[in-house]
Chain A
Amino acid sequence: MPVPATAPRRRRRSRGGDTPIGVALLWLGPALLLILGVVVFPAYELVKAAFSRYSITGLRLGDAGTTNFKNVLDHPDLITVLTNTVIWVVVVVALTVLVSLALAQFLAKDFFGRKVVRWAIIVPWAASLVITAKLFTLIYDYYYGTLNMILQTLHITSGPIDFLGDDRWTMPSMIMVGIFVSVPFTAYVFVAGLNAIPGDVYEAAKIDGARPWQTYWRITLPLLRPALVVASVLNIIYVFNSFPIIYTLNDRNPGYLHDTTITFMYKLAFKSAEKDVGMSAAAGIFNVILILIVIAIYLRTLKWQEQED
């Protein structure tokens, strides 16, 4: 950056002390306003709502104390919902990372038509989640679904499977869609990670006589670690917060049998017999705490491993 010769010295001397607070605020203003409007204000409203008693019309009736939190914790379906959330997040993120690792290896290679393949893989990422989810309700349909048609034509199954209505199939079907929409982003993070690994490391491994699998296990994966961390943390958050897939694919099923904490929260506020905004806000606060704890544990575990190394 071209700076007048005298400027650095002056700045060093004053250590930023002589910038008037007004000027600083002027520069920081837009960012601060954005944070206030997008993060602080909603957070304040959420906490306020969690401690309020609401009519089902949404009218605030008064203070609720901690009743809303108690009601969430006492909810008969809470265990089901939490179990669903754990299965949903763990399975989707784990399988997404595995599939993406394989896909990234493939995409990092130079081959004819790579550009087309790369574009094709971006599509599910670029499409709106609601549209993707609606599309899958058609694919999974019991009567007209293409998936059932294919399975029956190939004689893999004798009759149609009710992917979205049969309790055994609902979660696996949703997980498939979750993976489908998470893979593109994850694969691209890994492609970037693979490209960042310098070629001479592989050369050295070759000279030392490492087998391909050894090279992958000892060199590629460890060097891909930053990309793996970023991809898993972001995926945990995305998948945990994923609303449209579960809401759309599960909309025909009564009750909370296949809901995660996010759709549970929405149904509490607007769809269930509770129809209670305050209780939903309390569930929302639990959600934030839950995801922060999960991320903290994940990063802490990584740090320990790093120290062991």
Chain B
Amino acid sequence: MARKMTALIAGAGAAALVLSACSGGSGSGTAGGGSSSGAAKVTSIKLVAAEYSKDHTAAFWKQFADKYKAKTGITLDVQVVSWDSIDQQSSTMIQNNNAPDLLNLNVYASYAKDKLLYSADEVLAPAIKADVLDAFVKSGTYQGKMYGMPDLSSARALFYNKDLFTKAGIANPPKTWDEFEADAKKIQALGSGNIGYAMPLGPEESQGEFSIWTFNNGGDWKTAGKWSINSPKNVDTLTFLKKLSVTDKVTQNNPGKTNRAQAFDLFKSGKAGMVVGFSPLAGALDADKKVNYAVAPMPTKEAGGTPQTFGVTDYLMSFKKPGNQAAVKAFYDLYYQKDQVNQFIKAEGFLPVTKSGLEIFASDPKLKVYLATLPNIHLTPTDDPTWDKVKLAVQQNIGAGVSANGDPQAVLTALQKAAENGG
């Protein structure tokens, strides 16, 4: 009898565990915009914001909500969510018909495709849209309408350890891939655990690492509106990255299974000669004061090429819900005021998204290397909903191309097929 009881409890427990694992968060929606039934004007709206940093994100949105309330009389509920769980939480909210009014995420096109979003025509003042940098208007535009309003941007550049460069007898950062390879070899040859180049091609953000390399070889994810993932240039790029890892052995162990955070840690510990970084890494290095580093444009495949800057922008998208249009418009009006958007970007250590912001940040010598290239920044095809899936496939698979038995051509061709089939 006791045993039967145990089994019963155990069985029920198992079911409950699995079930709750699946529907996690279904009860968590406290519906900030719950009062928006009917066409009546809302009295509160909800923002789900991504946590860029523990210190600044919540603090910024708190002061923002206070100002917003003072200006409009509408309460802004802010829920700050970590990047680890924001995909899951946003998906759960949509599933439960409990979308927030505003969502801060690194994708938007799938939401636009599902017709969930307001377009800029509906909620963004023309003057603001005109102020947004053209590259970001373009990346935020899906089928002729802008849905992805950029909240901030970042650009990648080559970080190098000046002390290791001096020790290895290298005078200047590499300008071409050949120089890069030679420099990496020299640093690796220093021994005592030093690594030429920390290459993160693990699932966290391998699409970024691959993008910056292939953009500087004239490759791209899409060419003239068509997927070109297995183009000769891209295959050439991945083959070069594999060579660095497998033949030259100038990268850390297992680059296909190293996430960005781990590669940054190697550079921060002073062991890695070079890494592709962005301004928040610079902030962390400046705070540590441990590594004597400098930032340079990415080397290009061919000598004399123009370095391409790979950029990323995140989005503040707004969901169509009855009665919230004016409140959402007021949100954007306030967010894109110079003292708000740029205060946020500055605190988080990122780059501006507006022309007026570019002028404000121009005085900062540390950002010079990024700002010059920002207007011509090279982004991933975030305006294509298929990319939202392709990106995940790339993250999960491209690392296999740089393993000892990896086949760059086969890996990229599989991704190309997946993209052509809609992700």
- A contact residues vs B (CB 8 Å cutoff): 38-39, 42-43, 45-46, 49, 54-60, 142-144, 160, 162, 164-166, 226, 229-230, 233-234, 237, 240-241, 243, 251-255, 262, 265-266, 269-273, 275, 277, 280-281, 284, 287-288, 291-292, 295-296, 299, 302
Q: For residue A147, give the distance in angstroms from its CB to the closest CB of chain B.
A: 15
User: What CA separation (Å) do A271 and B87 show in the bound complex?
Assistant: 8
Asked if A265 contacts B10 (CB within 8 A), the reply is no
Q: For residue B379, give the distance in angstroms from its CB to the closest CB of chain A.
A: 20
Asked if B94 contacts A299 (CB within 8 A), the reply is no
User: What CA separation (Å) do A40 and B139 show in the bound complex?
Assistant: 44
Asked if B95 contacts A273 (CB within 8 A), the reply is no
Spot the interface stretch: B36-44, B53-61, B320-328, B385-393. B385-393
Q: For residue A160, give the distance in angstroms from its CB to the closest CB of chain B.
A: 8
Could you show 7 A-B contacts with beta carbons less than 8 Å apart? A233-B6, A240-B14, A241-B14, A251-B203, A251-B204, A254-B202, A277-B95
Asked if A252 contacts B262 (CB within 8 A), the reply is yes
Interface membership of chain B positions 350-393, coded 1 if the CB is closer than 8 angstroms to chain A and 0 otherwise:
00000000000000000000000000000000000000111011
Q: For residue A56, give the distance in angstroms from its CB to the closest CB of chain B.
A: 5
Contact (A237, B91) CB under 8 Å given A57-B111, A251-B259: no
Spot the interface stretch: B20-28, B240-248, B274-282. B20-28
Contact (A295, B7) CB under 8 Å given A142-B253, A269-B91: yes
User: What CA separation (Å) do A38 and B87 show in the bound complex?
Assistant: 24
User: What CA separation (Å) do A16 and B401 show in the bound complex?
Assistant: 71
Contact (A273, B389) CB under 8 Å given A237-B14, A251-B259: yes
Give the residue of A45, A57, A299 whose beta carbon is less than 8 angstroms from that of B26.
A45
Contact (A59, B94) CB under 8 Å given A39-B19, A254-B399: yes
Asked if A295 contacts B16 (CB within 8 A), the reply is no
Asked if A254 contacts B397 (CB within 8 A), the reply is yes
Q: For residue A159, give the distance in angstroms from its CB to the closest CB of chain B.
A: 10
Contacts of A295 in B (CB 8 A): 7, 10-11, 14
Asked if B114 contacts A59 (CB within 8 A), the reply is yes
Tell me the residues in window 282-297 of chain B with beta carbons closer than 8 Å to chain A beta carbons: none
Asked if B15 contacts A288 (CB within 8 A), the reply is yes
Contacts of A234 in B (CB 8 A): 10
> Is the C-beta of B230 less than 8 angstroms from some C-beta in chain A?
no
Contact (A166, B193) CB under 8 Å given A39-B19, A273-B389: no
> Is the C-beta of B92 less than 8 angstroms from some C-beta in chain A?
yes
Asked if A230 contacts B23 (CB within 8 A), the reply is no
Asked if A39 contacts B88 (CB within 8 A), the reply is no
Contact (A165, B257) CB under 8 Å given A254-B203, A273-B390, A273-B418: yes
Contacts of A160 in B (CB 8 A): 253
- B contact residues vs A (CB 8 Å cutoff): 2-3, 6-7, 10-23, 26, 87-88, 90-95, 110-111, 113-114, 116, 193, 202-204, 206, 252-254, 256-259, 262, 266, 269, 271, 388-390, 392-393, 395-400, 418, 423
Give the residue of A45, A56, A254, A266 whose beta carbon is less than 8 angstroms from that of B256.
A254
Asked if B392 contacts A226 (CB within 8 A), the reply is no
User: What CA separation (Å) do A287 and B266 show in the bound complex?
Assistant: 39
Asked if A252 contacts B396 (CB within 8 A), the reply is no
| Seed contacts A39-B16, A58-B90, A295-B10; 5 additional CB < 8 Å A-B pairs | A46-B22, A142-B252, A144-B269, A230-B6, A237-B14
Contact (A229, B22) CB under 8 Å given A57-B110, A237-B17, A273-B392: no
User: What CA separation (Å) do A255 and B161 show in the bound complex?
Assistant: 33
Asked if B253 contacts A162 (CB within 8 A), the reply is yes
Asked if B110 contacts A243 (CB within 8 A), the reply is no
Q: For residue B106, give the distance in angstroms from its CB to the closest CB of chain A.
A: 13
Contact (A38, B20) CB under 8 Å given A143-B266, A295-B7: yes
User: What CA separation (Å) do A266 and B245 show in the bound complex?
Assistant: 31
Asked if B392 contacts A241 (CB within 8 A), the reply is no
Q: For residue B105, give the distance in angstroms from its CB to the closest CB of chain A.
A: 10
Q: For residue B119, give the distance in angstroms from its CB to the closest CB of chain A.
A: 16
Q: For residue A304, give the distance in angstroms from its CB to the closest CB of chain B.
A: 13
Q: For residue B399, give the distance in angstroms from its CB to the closest CB of chain A.
A: 5
Asked if B114 contacts A284 (CB within 8 A), the reply is no
Asked if B252 contacts A143 (CB within 8 A), the reply is yes
Taking each of A60, A226, A281, A292, which has the highest tally of chain B beta carbons within 10 Å of its own beta carbon?
Answer: A292
Asked if A269 contacts B21 (CB within 8 A), the reply is no
Contact (A42, B91) CB under 8 Å given A55-B114, A288-B14: no
Contact (A59, B389) CB under 8 Å given A229-B3, A252-B257: no
Q: For residue A227, give the distance in angstroms from its CB to the closest CB of chain B.
A: 11
Contacts of A229 in B (CB 8 A): 3, 6
Contact (A237, B92) CB under 8 Å given A57-B114, A288-B19: no
Contacts of A240 in B (CB 8 A): 14
Give the residue of B11, B116, B193, B389 whose beta carbon is less than 8 angstroms from that of A292.
B11
A278 nearest CB neighbor, chain B only? B95
Contacts of A43 in B (CB 8 A): 15, 19
B115 nearest CB neighbor, chain A only? A59
User: What CA separation (Å) do A299 and B249 show in the bound complex?
Assistant: 53
Q: For residue A130, give the distance in angstroms from its CB to the closest CB of chain B.
A: 10
Contacts of A49 in B (CB 8 A): 22-23, 95
Q: For residue B392, give the distance in angstroms from its CB to the closest CB of chain A.
A: 4
Asked if A143 contacts B193 (CB within 8 A), the reply is yes
User: What CA separation (Å) do A160 and B253 show in the bound complex?
Assistant: 10
User: What CA separation (Å) do A288 and B18 show in the bound complex?
Assistant: 7
Contacts of A42 in B (CB 8 A): 16, 19-20, 22-23, 26
Contacts of B2 in A (CB 8 A): 226
Give the residue of A233, A254, A270 whose beta carbon is less than 8 angstroms from that of B91.
A270
Asked if A271 contacts B12 (CB within 8 A), the reply is no
Q: For residue B150, give the distance in angstroms from its CB to the closest CB of chain A.
A: 19
Contact (A255, B396) CB under 8 Å given A43-B15, A275-B389: yes
User: What CA separation (Å) do A281 and B26 show in the bound complex?
Assistant: 14
